Structure 1
Amino acid sequence: MPAGGDTFFLNDIRRLHMEVQNQQKNNDSGRDERLGTAPLGRLMAGMAVPAVAAQLINVLYNIVDRIYIGHISGYGDVALTGVGVTFPIIMLIAAFSAFAGMGGAPLASIQLGKKDHDKAERILGNSAGLLIIFSVVLTVFFSIFKTPILYAFGASGQTISYAESYIAIYLIGTVFVQIAVGLNTFISGQGEARIAMLSVLIGAVINIALDPVFIFALHMGVKGAALATIISQAVSAAWVLRFLLSEKSVIRLRVKYMKLQGDIVKHIAGLGVSPFIMQSTESLVSITLNSGLQRYGGDLYVGTMSIMTSVMQLIVIPVQGITQGIQPIISYNYGAGNRKRVKGAFIRMLLVCFAGTLLLAGIAVTVPEVYASLFTNNDKLVALTCRVMPIYFFGIMIFGIQSACQSTFLALGQAKVSLFIALLRKVILLIPLAVILPKFMGVMGIYRAEPVADIISVLTTSVLFAFTFKNVLLNMRKSGMMSAGKEKED
């Protein structure tokens, strides 16, 4: 065949390759464009319901462990307290996954709104690279220093063996937790809320099935609970990776983009520091409360906090699921410049979140025995928990307002304001109050610190959000008018 024929043949191949690429881009674009075009109410329900289900299922990892552990014959209450002491470490691990995942996913959604798929994939790759680094560092650090850290977190001579046994095994699965939790946000961030829910559901079902086998049938106790957890997280991580590496994903995880780039990491960190602080300060709060309860009350009071920490998750996690499901809608439409849709999504999210915490926390305040009896058969522990729970959860009834505002700040890329709100409730208010109030009120001052911090934080956040959101919408309107004017001139 002559040289000219070769050139013609190669041109055909190139043209066909470009057509395939363009078709794939059109298919991908069609999947994420519904975030900006589908009916808002139906879209929000379709995104939020699977996200809420995923969050509820996710919280079962720790709660189911605690329910089973609390009912171990002979030493369940002591083992429950010991496992509760490990909660700050678990939350710190989750905080690092939130740093990379929740810091990167909204940025990727904004880029999808701007039709920049390559930039979105670079953000995904850099987030994955960060998660791998975090996994190695966290595993090594906590494995070496776990004993002194657990004592500092409120463990006693009676509970330390259970705390060490649980966390030693849990740390082996740190990389699975980082991938499963951190990268799953990029699945929901591209509008695939059901897939994100399934990644959590698969792990939770496995965990629930393995817990009784390892804990009771094989007589492994708290070690069995930890082993069941890391196996289930490994399966979830495999599911998440399988999707993000496949053609089904609008943005794909590519090894070449996992090499960290300074400008991308900087933007991820700028937005991710807020959810990181929200979760890591949960650990700091837990440390402060547990050590205070141990000092002013003893193991039984620390046991109440182990129960109420789980109840707090049952209340707050569904609301976080709502915000996580709706956040990509706000981010996408903010990137696309759709002011009306951003405002409409926020107002609906605010109403649903407020109703959610009002209902779920209201149960803890009015009928605390519904929650308390789930975790232990110890009558003294149940009675004490029922006495302090209404005090502790009183302010959480209005916390849905702050959750909606906090999530919207993240969705709009308002990193500094989001960071302040994250610091306000826990670091600026709750921790100092939990240290000061017991000096005047005894052990009950620790429980009363929570509602005082919650109420002040919600009021402050509401005022701050009212001014900031108004300015954001005004700037979007000006940008839209400028763009329209430019198009008219063109």
Structure 2
Amino acid sequence: MEKNKEVSANNKVDVDSRRDFLTKTPIPELIIKLSIPTIISMLVTALYNMADTYFVGKISTQATASVGLVFSVMAIIQALGFFCGHGSGNFIARMLGAGKVKEANEMASTGFCMAMIFGIVIAVVGNIFINPLASAIGATKTSMADTKAYMSIILIGAPFMMCQFVINNQLRFQGRAVYAMVGLMCGAVFNVGLDPLLILVFDMGVRGAAIATITGQFMSFLVLLFISLRGQTIKVNIKNVRLNGFYLKEITNGGAPSLFRQGLAAAATLLLNKYAGKYGNDAAIAGMSITTRVMMMLGSAVIGFGQGYQPVCSYNYGAKLKDRVREGYFFCVKYGTIFLVFAGAICFIFAPDIIWAFRKDEEVVAVGKVALRFQACVLPCMATTVITNMMLQSMGKGIKASITSSARSGIFFIPLILILPRVFGIRGVEVTQTIADILAMGIAIPFAVSELRKMKKME
């Protein structure tokens, strides 16, 4: 009994100290502290994909195209992982901000359980229907074998991939971004180390790349699970799983924007690859795939910055400190835009060299450099769109957050990719994302203004 009281007291002290840290630390200092590890975490996640693309590029153009095609499947796995992770993490942060530890614990375990169930279903069903799935994502006759070989192994790792995204996000929303970063970095070390060993030394081709990726994901899962089980406040425990209407509704409300954002990104990648192949060839698919990975790497830095803001937003919104929510939003938009201006300029100037570094093929570079330059021109728009989406999501504004998260890769991109290539051929494929980014910012701005005005009035 005395031991239980001591544990309860320690938990209360820990909750109070985290709450004070997130609600009283000056906003610039707080966001910088939280965003550095989340930026590193997002860059590490992007590195998983970049490493495969780089080393597979040493094999053939078809192999590079195959990895790009399977990225749409990986994006779906990631979407479901973020759905469970962001949905549960948002709720956990709001509950901790309100001092409700029991509900936070139950949500952590429920979100983890959902991800494991989704992952097992995807692994089994995906491998059963591997042939039609490969055709559906745009594999050509020349890339079909590599696509199936890479995807079959990636699907096996789906449960661990999804669960590590859940634990990672739950730790972030508790303000423990450093622990989340450590878990991801452990996996990245394995992935990057195994890629050249399995692909180049043991000559395992795309299978080696896939094994390296899922090994890295599995190591991240083990490290993050260990950290979570030994957590001082919130722990994943099978006894706390509550698959009931209340928690499922909260996960859906908080996670739907991420599901829309990531899920539509997967659909957009699938369509991009299909039309690149239809109006070009394997070299066009490879060029667009490399461009996508490069932009994802740059975008991940801003997403990481926004993820550092999310626990600040959730905690302070739950604690009714609306002025801190607004201050954090403007801080992130300002410095996110400045960073992307410089990053976009570098990509525009050195576009041919960047594509050439991944695949030394003139046809690949011809397509990739044009697409990269188009996207570099509007890259700064991403800061406003991403930070607005994360603010709305963290505040529990599910509908608005879902619309803003769907705009870039869904509402605008999908109609554009279906129309522009028919009119302009491969140039239409190259310019689609650029136009979609401009239109997406046009939706994000009025949504942000309306919510910021409401908060200002409430102050």
* Shorter-chain TM band: over 0.9
Letter in 1 for 2:35: A
Q: Which residue is equivalent to 2:371? A: 388
| SS state at 1:389 partner | helix
Match of 1:235 in 2: 219
Query: What do the CA deviations read for 1:96-128 (whole angstroms, capped 9, x no partner)?
Result: 001100111011101111011111111111101
In the aligned structure 2, how far is the partner of 1:362 from the partner of 1:412? 33
Contact 1:129 1:259 (8 Å CA) reproduced = no
CA distance change for structure 1 residues 418 and 167 in 2, over 3 Å: closer, same or farther? Answer: same
Counterpart amino acid of residue 86 in structure 1? V
Structure-2 separation of matches of 1:19 and 1:440: 70
Say whether 1:379 aligns with 2:362. Answer: yes
Q: CA deviation at 1:356?
A: 2.6
Structure 2 equivalent of residue 286 of structure 1: 269
1:27 to 14, 31, 36: 14
How far did residue 460 of structure 1 move?
A: 2.1
Contact 1:362 1:397 in 2 (8 A): no
- Give the 3-state SS of the residue equivalent to 2:359 in structure 1: coil
Residue identity opposite 2:67 in structure 1: V
TM-fit CA distance, 1:473: 4.0
Deviation at 1:24, TM superposition (A): 3.4
Pick aligned residue for 2:115 from 87, 112, 131 = 131
Query: RMSD between aligned alpha carbons?
Result: 1.5
**How far apart, CA to CA, are the structure 2 residues paired with 1:342 and 1:389?**
34
Contact 2:15 2:96 in 1 (8 A): no
Q: 1:472 to 1:264 in 2, by over 3 A?
A: farther
Displacement of 1:309 = 1.3
Q: CA offset at residue 32 of structure 1?
A: 4.0
Partner letter of residue 411 of structure 1?
Answer: S
- In the other structure, the counterpart of 1:335 is 318
* Aligned match for 2:175, one of 187, 191, 202: 191
Q: How far apart are 1:20 and its partner, in Å?
A: 4.4
Secondary structure (helix, strand or coil) at the match of 1:191 reads coil
Q: Is residue 2:128 matched to residue 1:144?
A: yes
State TM-score, norm by structure 2. Answer: 0.96
In structure 2, the partner of 1:65 is 52
Cα distance in 2, alignment partners of residues 471 and 43 from structure 1: 24
3-state SS, counterpart of residue 86 of structure 1: helix
Cα deviation 1:392-422 (Å, max 9, x = unaligned): 4432232111111111001111101011112
Cα shift readout 1:443-472 (whole Å, capped 9, x = no counterpart): 211222221111111022112210122114
Match of 2:382 in 1: 399
Matches within 5 A, 1:19-58: 19-58=6-45
* Corresponding residue pairs, total: 459
Structure 1 residue runs without a partner (length 5+): 1-13, 478-490
Cα deviation for residue 218 of structure 1 reads 1.2
Q: 1: CA distance between counterparts of 2:43 and 2:6? A: 43
SS of corresponding position for 2:357? coil
Separation in 1 of the partners of 2:456 and 2:167?
30
Q: Is the 8 A contact 2:77 2:158 kept in 1?
A: yes
User: Could you say if the C-alpha distance between residues 124 and 16 of structure 1 is closer, same or farther in structure 2, counting changes exceeding 3 Å?
Assistant: closer
Q: Any stretches of 5+ residues in structure 2 without a counterpart?
A: none
TM-superposed CA distance for 1:19, in Å, is 4.3
Task: Tell me the SS of whatever aligns to 1:260.
Answer: coil
Question: Residues 8-41 of structure 1: CA distance to partner in whole angstroms, max 9, x if unpaired?
Answer: xxxxxx4564244223321342134311122322
Q: Select between 36-45 and 179-188 the one with higher mean Cα deviation.
A: 36-45
Change (3 A) 1:22 1:378: same
8 Å CA contact 1:358–1:398 kept in 2: the answer is no
Alignment of 1:235-274 (within 5 A): 235-246=219-230, 248-274=231-257
Out of 75, 82, 99, which is 1:98 matched to? 82
2:373 equivalent to 1:364: no
How far the C-alpha of 1:294 sits from its partner, in A, is 1.4
Contact 1:372 1:382 (C-alpha < 8 Å) held by counterparts: yes
1:424, CA displacement in angstroms? 2.4
Residue pair 2:11, 2:233 contacting (<8 A) in 1 also? no
> Which SS does the other structure have where 2:358 is aligned?
coil
Distance across 1 between alignment mates of 2:133 and 2:267: 12
Question: What whole-Å deviation, never above 9, does each CA across 1:414-451 have from its counterpart, x for those lacking one?
Answer: 10101111222322211111111222222211222221
Cα deviation for residue 81 of structure 1 reads 0.7
Change (3 A) 1:210 1:243: same
> 1:321: which partner in 2?
304
1:5 match: none
TM-score by length of 1: 0.90
**SS of match in other structure, 2:139:** coil
- Of stretches 61-70 and 17-26 in structure 1, the one that deviates more from structure 2 is 17-26
Moved more, 359-368 or 95-104: 359-368
Q: Which amino acid aligns with 2:227?
A: F
Q: Which amino acid aligns with 1:290?
A: N
- Is the Cα–Cα contact under 8 Å of residues 48 and 326 in structure 1 kept in the other structure? yes
Q: How far, CA to CA, are the matches of 1:106 and 1:363 in structure 2?
A: 35
1:245 partner letter: L
